[in-house]
Amino acid sequence: MRVRLSYSVELEDVPDSVAELIEQEMFRIDAAKEKIGKAYHTLCEEEPHIELVIKSVDQARQTLGAIDLRLSECESILRGYKEASSPSEQASDDDIAEDQQFDGYYNTPYEVPKESQK
C-alpha cells in the first residue's frame, strides 16, 4: 500500500531535497539492473531455471515501476519549485490582486429582485 508523506522545507532547499530522492533511485536502478542481469545469465545456461527468470524479471519490472513513480513525483515537485521561485509570475499575480480591490459593490451575474412596495 502506498501512502503520501508530506513535510516542508525551505524553498531554497527544494533542489537538494529532490537530489536526495533521485540519488536513492539511482541505487534502485542498480538493483533492477542486477535482477535483469541475473535473468539474462540464467537464460544463457544450458538448462535455464525459467521460474527463477520469471521471478527476476517481475522484480525488476516492479522496481522500475517504483522508480518511475518516484521520478514523476520529483518532476512534479520541481515544477512547483520553478513556479514558486519565478519572480516575474509572482509580480503579475500581485498586479492582478491590486487591480481587483473591493470597491464596496458586488457585481452579480443576475439582477437582485427589489422588494415590492405595499
- The per-residue pLDDT for 58 is 97
Q: Is the pTM of this model over 0.75?
A: no
CA dist 68 to 2, 20, 62, 72, Å? 14, 16, 10, 6
> Would you say 30 and 60 are in contact if contact means Cβ atoms under 8 Å apart?
no
CA-CA-CA-CA torsion sign (19, 20, 22, 23): positive
| Residue 109 in this model has a pLDDT that exceeds 70 | no
CA pair distance 20, 90, nearest whole angstrom: 28
| Residue 103 in this model has a pLDDT that exceeds 90 | no
Q: Within the chain, what is the greatest distance between any pair of CA atoms?
A: 103
pLDDT tens, residue by residue, 40-84:
999 999 999 999 999 999 999 999 999 999 999 999 999 999 999
Task: Please identify which residue in the block is written with the cell numbers 515537485.
Answer: 77
Closest-CA residue to 32 (of 3, 74, 61, 68): 61
What does the domain layout of the chain look like in residue ranges?
11-86
Residue type, 59: Q
